Structure 1
Amino acid sequence: MRTLLVDHHADLTRAVRVALGDSGFAVDVVGTLEQASSAFCCASYEILLLELVLPDGDGLDWLRQLRSEGHSVPAVVMSNIDHLEQRIAVFNGGADDFLVKPVFTDELIARMRAVLRRSTQMTDPIIVFGNLHFDPIGRQVSVAGHPLMAARRELCILEHLLNRAGRIVPRAHLEDHLYSFNDEVSANALEVGIYRLRGHLNRSGATPRIKTVRGIGYILECPTSVTSA
């Protein structure tokens, strides 16, 4: 999940970025509203984490502007001020959730996933395709009831392919949502991830298969009859 974190407190952003990265989020960190606006012009985000007090303005005013421009990205606001009037103003300004600082990363991640579930109207978060079950909240995969172990990046690839199962997922879409601006990514990083994920699926006896659509991207298919590799 591509995430934009707007906060100028280095200690907090460092801890949050590491924790979210370990949980499957690709995080871009900016410290001003000007940088946040530039990031929105360059990338597509699934969720926004926003501090209210920033060096160049009010985060809530910026969020209101985003909403007025039609941006519906889920937003979690963070602040060390906790007055009832402020909380009401935050929600009225377009926020989906509000956390009081100091932020505990486990709670933040749980809140983020809850917001994402609501935004996609997910009643059952478990994704089922063929004999493969994927839990995006717990980041767990099973094939015919048996756990499948894969690296964090491979699980992120699988999640995006499952969300569009049976449809082509452009290479650019995967790269845009898997990697943040600060990630050091080799030219063939996506191909390596796809190759390793295919290996996990084949060895586990998973019925879904990843097909390369040359020059475009990838598609996750589930043939009616599959011979395990």
Structure 2
Amino acid sequence: MRTLLVDHHTDLARTMQAALGDSCFAVDVAHTLEDASTAFSCASYEILLMELPMPDGDGLHWLAQLRRDKHSVPVIIMSSVNDLGWRIAIFNCGADDFLPKPVSTDELIARMRAVLRRSTQISDPILVFGNLQFDPISRQVFVEGQPVKIARRELSILEHLLNRAGRIVSRTQLEVNLYAFDDVVSTNALEAGIYRLRKSLCQAEATLRINTVRGIGYILEPTGAASQYVSRNESKTGLETRI
């Protein structure tokens, strides 16, 4: 899940970024409110983590403006200030949750999942396609009710394809949502991830397949569905065309 962490403490932000990355969150870090505004203009985020106060401006004013601009992204505030008036102001400005510092990473991740669960409660958050089920909050995949272990990067690929099942997803769309701005990504990283995901789904006997749309991207379809988009020339890369 694409996450924006706004924290001016460089070392702490780097540590938190690594910990969240291990739990399937692609994290961009902004060290100032100006950087945070720039990040929001360049990418779409599923959750915002924000440390307050910020040294370069009024973080609560920035958050309130974010809400006035109709950004509905869930927001968790972290702060060493923990008096009642401060907490009330945080929630009144649009925060969804608050954590006093120092923050336990395990508790933060649990609260992130709880906030994301609440934000999707108006509809069933479980994604179902063929005999596969995916819970985007717990990050669990099941085929015919049996758990399937999929690596975190491939899990993120699967999530984005499931959210757009039956539609073409471009390489650019996938890369923007899978990788943070400062991730070091090889030129064939996406293809390798798709290959590993296809292999995992095939071994689990999932009734779906990932077809390649030559020169554009990928499309998730049911097993047996005819597709005009499947590339017949992927043997040149050593990657399988479909599961």
- Same topology, TM > 0.5: yes
Percent identical among aligned pairs is 69
Consecutive unaligned residues of structure 1, counting only runs of 5 or more, are none
**CA drift at 1:63:** 0.8
Tell me the equivalent position of 2:191.
Answer: 191
Tell me the equivalent position of 1:47.
Answer: 47
**Contact 2:19 / 2:105 at 8 angstroms: preserved in 1?**
yes
2: distance between equivalents of 1:41 and 1:223? 38
**CA drift at 1:179:** 0.2
**Contact 2:50 / 2:75 at 8 angstroms: preserved in 1?**
yes
Moved more, 64-73 or 45-54: 64-73
**CA drift at 1:187:** 1.6
Code of the aligned partner of 1:164: R
Code of the aligned partner of 1:172: T
Consecutive unaligned residues of structure 2, counting only runs of 5 or more, are 227-241
Q: Mapping of 1:114-133 within 5 angstroms?
A: 114-121=114-121, 124-133=124-133
Secondary structure class of the residue paired with 1:51? strand
**Contact 2:46 / 2:74 at 8 angstroms: preserved in 1?**
yes
2: distance between equivalents of 1:165 and 1:19? 30
2: distance between equivalents of 1:137 and 1:73? 15
Q: TM-score with structure 2 length normalisation?
A: 0.86
Code of the aligned partner of 2:23: S
Q: 1:122 to 1:176 in 2, by over 3 A?
A: farther
Secondary structure class of the residue paired with 2:121? coil
**CA drift at 1:76:** 0.9
Q: TM-score with structure 1 length normalisation?
A: 0.91
1: distance between equivalents of 2:148 and 2:194? 15
**CA drift at 1:124:** 4.6
Bigger relative CO (Cα 8 Å, ≥ 6 apart):
1
Tell me the equivalent position of 1:140.
Answer: 140
Q: Cα RMSD (Å) of the superposition?
A: 2.0
**CA drift at 1:167:** 2.4
1: distance between equivalents of 2:117 and 2:138? 13
**Contact 2:116 / 2:137 at 8 angstroms: preserved in 1?**
no
Moved more, 140-149 or 38-47: 140-149
